[in-house]
Amino acid sequence: MQVALSVVVPVKDEAENIAPLAREIAQAVASETSAEIVFVDDGSSDRTADALLGLKETLPQLRVVQHGRNMGQSRAVRTGVRWARGDIIVVLDGDGQNDPADIPRLLDEFSKGNAACVGLVQGQRARRQDSMTKKLASRIANGIRRRLLNDGATDVGCGLKAFRRDAFLALPYFDHMHRYMVALMLREGFEVRFVEVNHRPRLHGRSKYGVWDRLIVGITDLMGVRWLQRRYRGAVDTEEL
């Protein structure tokens, strides 16, 4: 089956958020007749899997993939991309804070200008609906990252993004790599574009991430990505003889 677009949603313990989010996604991509929606249940301990399976009757484009145990968001995203059949992938968080109505705006960027060079369209939250502590920690982390990696991004924590499947699979994989996709795409020679997107309050459940623990782990990740940048020798011009 040929699929042009795959929407990948990593989730863990989001049973109450699943149904409304899946329906919003289906509505947002209704004009893409061959679009599929791939939810990856990353070892949930609640009724997330049951909620997803219960939606398959009313949403035939829905596919459900499950990890046997919790593997983390980056692995869940990668699993979804590997199972996806679309050439273009849209990823968004499973907590409902990303607005699926923004998906068409991200996809439009692949039809503007020299779209063949675009690897990633990264969302940037315009009015972030989080606590002041989270926003402050994010501002500090983004400032340090932008200074060291020179990637031009102001909000890599935004889970809403669109990218070429082949471009993503060409990136080096490591835990937490989803937060460094801008720098990694630029490293591989792809163009990255940014689009302001909506951000909504979480209605159910709790965030899976702490504030300061993520900041501490991020320092190690940042040094690793900086090392990858320095060790890259550039794209190779090739031709078949």
All structural domains of the chain with their residue ranges: 3-231
CA distances from 147 to 13, 37, 195, 222 (A): 35, 36, 21, 11
Instruction: Determine the pLDDT at residue 133.
Output: 63
pLDDT tens per residue across span 149-198: 778 777 888 999 999 999 999 999 998 899 899 999 999 999 999 999 99
Structure tokens at 233: 């020798």
Instruction: Specify whether the CB–CB gap between 40 and 8 falls below 8 A.
Output: yes
What is the assigned CATH class of domain 3-231?
A: alpha beta
Asked if the model's pLDDT at residue 123 lies above 70, the reply is: yes
61-81 confidence digits (pLDDT tens) = 999 999 999 999 999 999 999
Q: How confident is the model at residue 136 (pLDDT cuts 50, 70, 90)?
A: low
Going by C-alpha positions, the residue among 215, 218, 208 that lies closest to residue 43 is 208
**Mean pLDDT, rounded, for 21-50:** 95
Which pLDDT value is given to residue 140? 65
Cα–Cα distance, 183 to 202 (Å, whole number): 28
Question: For residue 214, what pLDDT is reported?
Answer: 60
The region of weakest confidence among 101-115, 119-133, 163-177 is 119-133
- The percent of residues above 90 in pLDDT, for the chain, comes to 59
Q: Which residues, 6 or more positions from 97, have their beta carbon under 8 angstroms from its beta carbon?
A: 129, 159, 199, 200, 201, 202
